[in-house]
Amino acid sequence: MQHQICSSPQRITFINILEIFDKLCAALGQDVLDSLYWTVRYEPWRYTAVAGHFAAVCGVELVHSFVTFARLVSLSVAFDSSSTAMLTVLTSNNFVELKSSVFKRFRVENLFQISCSDIVERMQYVSRVCTINQRRQQQSVPKLTT
């Protein structure tokens, strides 16, 4: 997978598509989890509905984990590449988002939601960078042979 990301001429498009899929999977996952909760809480006797919602939750979370893994690999490729183009692409999306939201008027509730989503996004980036650094450290430790 890493080779496909490195050699792909449409890297920018691929990274943007992954980001969009990540947000879609997160929103869909929240809705599916809400429907599963509602079904278990208010209609626990409908076993087929509970099983169907549980299967939907498992499917959505599986797809979301693959998208998250692909984003982690693309971030790892950005750090490992000799050019800074990949890293620039990853950080440029934040500046475009910031530029589009600076000149708008927001109510307090909307501003709170935007701030919370930005905090979540930053924490995701921090956890991904920590994972990549941990993986690099594991690879750089020489193996002891006896």
For the stretch 24-78, pLDDT in tens is 998 899 999 999 999 999 988 889 989 999 999 999 999 999 998 988 888 777 7
What is the pLDDT confidence band of residue 136, given thresholds at 50, 70 and 90?
Answer: confident
Residues 66 and 132 in one domain: no
Residues 5 and 59 in one domain: yes
Contact 16, 93 (CB under 8 A): yes
Domain region containing 106: 101-139
Residues 73 and 131 in one domain: no
Residue 146 forms part of a structural domain: no
Residues 48 and 78 in one domain: yes
pLDDT of residue 2: 47
Residues 79 and 24 in one domain: yes
For the stretch 70-89, pLDDT in tens is 888 887 777 776 666 656 66
Residue 96 forms part of a structural domain: no
Residues 7 and 67 in one domain: yes
Residues 84 and 106 in one domain: no
Residues 8 and 72 in one domain: yes
79 φψ region: left (φ > 0), alpha (ψ -120 to 50), beta (else): alpha
Please tell me the pTM assigned to this model. 0.69
Structural domains counted in the chain: 2
Residues 85 and 111 in one domain: no
CA distances in angstroms from 142 to 80, 137, 138, listed in the order given: 19, 10, 9
Residues 66 and 118 in one domain: no
